[in-house]
Structure 1
Amino acid sequence: MPKDWLEWHDLYNTEPKLQQRLQIVREYISHSLDASPPGIIRVVSVCAGDGRDLLGTLASHPRAKDVHARLVEINPQLVERGRASIESLGLAQQIEFINGDATISSNYVGAVPADIVIVCGIFGNLADEAELNRLLGNLSFLSKQGAFVIWTRGHSNGIPYSETVRRFLRESGFEEVNFKLTATGDMGVGLHRYRGENLPTPKEQQLFVFSGVANKAR
């Protein structure tokens, strides 16, 4: 089992469910870019890891030059990887990688409200449903009206946790655009659209509490 998040991200090289999840996430990012109106597309990625979902999509997407993004990740080694990818893509003038706490709202000021919000690998690392509801409530600060929100949620012990997420999203002003399970059947990936109003200030400074650890991540 991975002892830290750097090792966890290396599992993308060997774990089918993570590879399948990444493929679907990239598909949803590509769809969101295609569906965005002409002009700048603002993207934020929460707990971004090394940014391989967004950056891997932009490597071949025709609208890459329209994207202005902020990725927030607390692990400095993952941020270093991500920044190297941004440089290699020639997108350093429009994509910034913040080495900071993704739970703190001030790390998004100036980059939100966004057209696309990526919250992958987070919902399974929240303590309970109350914390999930708290994060979903604060997405109205990150998202403009009509924003695409891309998320993931793993299943375990036969419990389809993604169904709870889908229900909470419906109750929080999000319209489902697409949802898929990985071929392994234990990882859900959703694409929703925010239909509520953007909040110009967050409901609270800390948007959520990330309580997961790498060797138990779902």
Structure 2
Amino acid sequence: MPKDWYEWHDLYNTEPKLQQRLEIVREYIAYSLNASPIGAIRIVSVCAGDGRDLLGTLENHPRAKDVYARLVEINSNLVERGRATIESLGLAKQIEFINGDATIATNYIGAIPADIAIVCGVFGNLADEAELNRLLDNLSFLSKKGTFVIWTRGHSNGIAYSDNVRKILRTSGFEEVNFKLTATQDMGIGIHRYLGENLPKPKEQQLFVFSGIPSKAR
């Protein structure tokens, strides 16, 4: 089993559910880019890993030059790999990769409110439903009315955890745009649109607590 998140990302080379998840996430990112108004598109990615979801989409997308993004990731090796990809795409002036704690509100200042918020691989690494509600409540700090929020949630032990996420989102000011399961049927991927208003200041500096470990990631 992987010892850290850098090693965990190597599972994309062998795990069908992760490969399928990535494909759908990129599909939703492309959809969000296409649906965004003419002009600059602000994007934030929470717990961004090496940014392969966003960067892989931008590689061949016609609106890549409209994107101004901030990716936040605590693992320095993943950040280094992501920055190398950004350089190779010629997007270094538009995309910054912050090596920092994605749970801390100040790491997003200057890049929000976003038009697209990517929160993938996060919900399954929260301690409980209360922590999920806390994060969703704080998304109003990252978002504005009309922001696309792209998320993932794994299933395990026969429990469709994504059903609960969708229910909470419905009652938290988010409209479902699309939802898909991977072909393996054990990973849900959703795209919602925020219907509320931007919160100029966070309710608390720590937006959520990330409690997952690589060997048990969902």
Shorter-chain TM-score bucket reads: over 0.9
State the shift of 1:85 in Å. Answer: 0.3
State the one-letter code of the partner of 2:118. Answer: I
Match runs of 1:1-218 below 5 Å: 1-218=1-218
Q: Secondary structure at the match of 1:72?
A: strand
Q: Secondary structure at the match of 2:146?
A: strand
State the one-letter code of the partner of 1:111. Answer: A
TM-score, with length taken from structure 2: 1.00
Name the CA distance, whole Å, in 2 between partners of 1:145 and 1:13. Answer: 37
Q: How many residues align?
A: 218
Name the CA distance, whole Å, in 2 between partners of 1:204 and 1:172. Answer: 18
Name the CA distance, whole Å, in 2 between partners of 1:203 and 1:184. Answer: 38
State the shift of 1:168 in Å. Answer: 0.4
State the shift of 1:9 in Å. Answer: 0.4
- Among the aligned pairs, what percent are the same residue? 83
State the one-letter code of the partner of 2:209. Answer: V
Name the CA distance, whole Å, in 2 between partners of 1:53 and 1:165. Answer: 21
Q: Secondary structure at the match of 1:146?
A: coil
**Cα displacement string for residues 77-134 of structure 1 (whole angstroms, at most 9, x for unaligned residues):** 0000000000000000010000000000000000000000000000000000000000
State the shift of 1:3 in Å. Answer: 1.0
State the one-letter code of the partner of 1:46. Answer: V
Name stretches of at least 5 consecutive residues in structure 2 with no aligned partner. none
**Cα displacement string for residues 162-212 of structure 1 (whole angstroms, at most 9, x for unaligned residues):** 000000000100000000000000000000000001100111100000000
**Cα displacement string for residues 132-170 of structure 1 (whole angstroms, at most 9, x for unaligned residues):** 000000000001110000000000000000000000000
State the shift of 1:216 in Å. Answer: 0.3
TM-score, with length taken from structure 1: 1.00
Q: Secondary structure at the match of 1:175?
A: strand
**RMSD value, Cα:** 0.3
Q: Secondary structure at the match of 2:147?
A: strand
Q: Secondary structure at the match of 2:152?
A: strand
Runs of 4 or more consecutive aligned structure 1 residues displaced over 3 Å after TM superposition: none
**Cα displacement string for residues 46-89 of structure 1 (whole angstroms, at most 9, x for unaligned residues):** 00000000000000000000000000000000000000000000
State the one-letter code of the partner of 1:16. Answer: P
Name the CA distance, whole Å, in 1 between partners of 2:88 and 2:209. Answer: 33
Q: Secondary structure at the match of 2:189?
A: strand
